[in-house]
Structure 1
């Protein structure tokens, strides 16, 4: 006992600290489990831990001793960690290079494969591939944020969002007129080409909006580039630490930014459409742009398998891989598999709610598409 006591005392006085490049996420649903993600930005490796492990790791800030962390853990979970368990936890964090003083791991060490230098060049082909448009995407996002970040203040956002609601109300009330305008545009190759160009430009602004809002919320933009899946060519933006932003609200705002930008892009065209002469060909073009642009933006909000890489519905439910997890749970529930009953209430509520909304959304989308096609067909 006396020989072991000094080691235990020294361990209790130890003040562990995570390295600055280590990020921790909020609680996320992953299947039946609640998990937290931990990412080492130096090696770009990440892994999942449970709520109890996260409780301990989140308090390793160099200010709290293991004794203090253990006391807080005992109060929260009703049990104390012994000397052996602490050693296991510290050994695991040290081996992964997550603690200050431990050697940082490279990507090759973390994944057992080549490091970032070997995999930095994206794979490209004629039918599919991608290319970066800027060398330093984060610096580009910072410059954009300095230029337009003031629009994210409530004094600007409230009137802009109010204008968007008014615009969508006008579109809903005059949907028949807009459908007729769209039909006319589809018979005019010149107007149709201009419409497609404007819609593509709005998708580019969509991605840049993700970058600006992510930067506003403390995110790091890893890439801005072009991606093609023949015959489609689109811009993309990758926020490196999106899941590790400070709060769920910040993640939802970042996810919503693209759809909101699509709608903001339409505001001046809505004014032009309202005041353009009815016999002017551009009147139909602006009307078609309003209808198709709104449909494009609102599609990002539909709780189907994510059209947008930022998974708006998933962030609202606090879940990762929401569509796949929902399908898995619904299959288990349909078979009355005992494993379905093992899902916690929070997970069952999220997956059942998402599944129900997804089915209803799919029915409404299909009904809207059928109605639009019937309306656009020649009489």
Structure 2
């Protein structure tokens, strides 16, 4: 007969719990390692832990004793935990004030200064409570946020982009025509700026719709450029991948929706009409604004979407680091997991090819516009 398991010590009978609201991310590839992010929303502080630590931390819910969690850990990883291991982990969590019943973490941090930076470069917070403001906007838009409605709107946007693609030559000519007319050019630029504001609010509304929170809404400038921004605090901690993708892609979708009334107006005008030419240029630039944002290069939304889809953090810098290591020491690079090697090498090569294609497309578009505007 096997001897019975020793009774758990007093410490192992404890049932500690994380403080309510502590965020844990899904697994993320970071270089050669898989990590989870832990964040305290009250302080904004976050740090990384490995899969084994996540296994333990994610089970600290007050319903299971340390002995029970340790037994499950032993079955999963083939190693039992002693009191010393628990003291080290709980000491770390306690020092960061992440445990329920521990020292008072203090009041939630208020918003930062309303304005930071200088006249040439800085930010301006525009809303005192960005999350509450976005919640009101989300409540107003909730009827159109049903999947069937969004699906129909997406099909309409794709159909519109198909029509515009078929009229690309005409639209390029309209753009070249517009560049020589300052007054309508300013009007188009103002509408495109408004579209960027809609883009940012769409990120916030999408975050609220899937359980995210919005930390700040404001204006960021680096003269002569000034754009709106909307900071989603916890999108990386959303459990479902599709929710993360929805938040990241909402901005470009909103840009396409913004163009729909102008497209209807444009189709009602005859070719060559001056207003129609202004609208044609707007539709071309607005479509480019939306679609370029989906390109998977930092800091564009497409890069964020790809990172969420692959569950990778710091994709571009980690890919560059892997390539440098591979060129310098192939044996060291071979120590990366196979999935990491495929992702990083594929991204580095793919992004280089993409940059060349985009540059070629831009040159071709300019030449076509010049040729169409010529005698």
Shorter-chain TM-score above 0.5: yes
Distance 1:122 1:243 in 2: 26
Cα deviation for residue 337 of structure 1 reads 3.7
Distance 2:227 2:114 in 1: 19
Q: With structure 2 as the length reference, what TM-score do the two structures score?
A: 0.93
1:288-334 Cα shifts (integer Å, max 9, x gaps): 11111111111111122222498222112211111111111111122
Cα deviation for residue 122 of structure 1 reads 4.0
Q: Which secondary structure does the structure 1 equivalent of 2:47 belong to?
A: strand
Query: Any stretches of 5+ residues in structure 2 without a counterpart?
Result: 1-5
Match of 1:83 in 2: 83
1:144-194 Cα shifts (integer Å, max 9, x gaps): 100112222112011111111111211222211111111111121121111
1:31-78 Cα shifts (integer Å, max 9, x gaps): 111110101122221110001101110111111221221122122212
Cα deviation for residue 121 of structure 1 reads 4.5
Cα deviation for residue 362 of structure 1 reads 0.9
Q: 1:203 to 1:119 in 2, by over 3 A?
A: closer
Structure 2 residue 131 is matched with structure 1 residue 177: no
Contact 2:18/2:60 (8 A) holds in 1: yes
Match of 1:15 in 2: 15
Match of 2:360 in 1: 367
Q: Which secondary structure does the structure 2 equivalent of 1:375 belong to?
A: helix
Cα deviation for residue 104 of structure 1 reads 3.9
Q: 1:176 to 1:118 in 2, by over 3 A?
A: closer
Equivalent residue runs for 1:90-109 within 5 Å: 90-105=90-105
Match of 2:275 in 1: 282
Partner of residue 164 from structure 1, selected from 127, 137, 157: 157
Cα deviation for residue 106 of structure 1 reads 5.7
Partner of residue 303 from structure 1, selected from 287, 290, 296: 296
Q: 1:92 to 1:300 in 2, by over 3 A?
A: same
Moved more, 167-176 or 195-204: 167-176
Would you say how many aligned residue pairs link Structure 1 and Structure 2? 367
**C-alpha RMSD over aligned residues:** 2.0
Match of 2:223 in 1: 230
Partner of residue 232 from structure 2, selected from 232, 239, 252: 239
Contact 1:205/1:261 (8 A) holds in 2: yes
Distance 2:55 2:37 in 1: 12
